[in-house]
Chains A and B, each alone.
Chain A
Amino acid sequence: VQLLESGGGLVQPGGSLRLSCAASGFSFSTYAMSWVRQAPGRGLEWVSTISGSGGTTYYPDSVKGRFTISRDKSQNTLYLQINSLRAEDTAVYYCAKNPTSLWTQYNWFDPWGQGTLVTVSS
């Protein structure tokens, strides 16, 4: 199982960015997938999950309306569209695989990609 993120970079406040996560080594459509971020020197923060089918998405209130998670089963790729970027969005963004197709209490993140750094600054 391998996850490889890309798409990070330096963006001005108010800008947009789309992160990608290429998945391999498992049946991509069978599992929910998530994004978790980590600001410099800080802890881990969950920012979105999408069900295995792609039909259901989940976000914390802190990013709802600005972040959009999606998946392309034909490309085995997970995406995170981030709009209206703020300085506090500066972080390493990790994609991770969930253990089932749904977002439930029975949940953990394994494995994780290596992360992609998003820096929001003028």
Chain B
Amino acid sequence: EIVLTQSPATLSLSPGERATLSCRASQSVSSYLAWYQQKPGQAPRLLMYDASNRATGIPARFSGSGSGTDFTLTISSLEPEDFAVYYCQQRSTFGQGTKLEIK
């Protein structure tokens, strides 16, 4: 079974800064990786699929990259509404999440 490891567990940044979140797979998953954003009390929302494709309605400041075992979600300039928990996912497996908090 594939294991997804996200880092860091918590990322403290200020609005306007660039955020870089990492997801590493225990074996190659090609480009079959998705990213989600979850805010408190809300359901997760799909951000990216197939590693680098933005889901419908997702702002262009969100971008995804990577293939094989190493993936990155980048938020180019943080907006106040971007502070949330982010999960990566491959088929049936989710990473443990990265909490993006305001510094």
Interface-located stretch among B10-18, B41-49, B65-73, B76-84: B41-49
B71–chain A nearest beta-carbon distance, Å: 13
Tell me, in angstroms, the Cα distance from A102 to B94 when the chains sit together.
Answer: 19
A96–chain B nearest beta-carbon distance, Å: 8
Interface-located stretch among A10-18, A40-48, A70-78, A81-89: A40-48
Among candidates B44, B90, B94, B96, residue contacting A112 with C-beta atoms closer than 8 Å: B44
Cross-chain contact B91 with A44 (CB below 8 angstroms): no
A54 interface contact, C-beta 8 A = no
Cross-chain contact A109 with B44 (CB below 8 angstroms): yes
Within 8 A of B (CB), among A41-76: 43-46, 49, 58, 60
B22 interface contact, C-beta 8 A = no
Cross-chain contact A112 with B43 (CB below 8 angstroms): yes
Given contacts A46-B92, A99-B49, A108-B49, contact A113 B43 (CB under 8 A): yes
> Which residues in A have some Cβ–Cβ distance to B below 8 Å?
43-46, 49, 58, 60, 94, 99, 103-115
Add 12 more A-B contacts to A43-B87, A110-B55 (CB < 8 A).
A43-B96, A44-B36, A46-B94, A94-B43, A105-B30, A107-B32, A109-B34, A110-B46, A110-B49, A111-B45, A112-B44, A112-B45
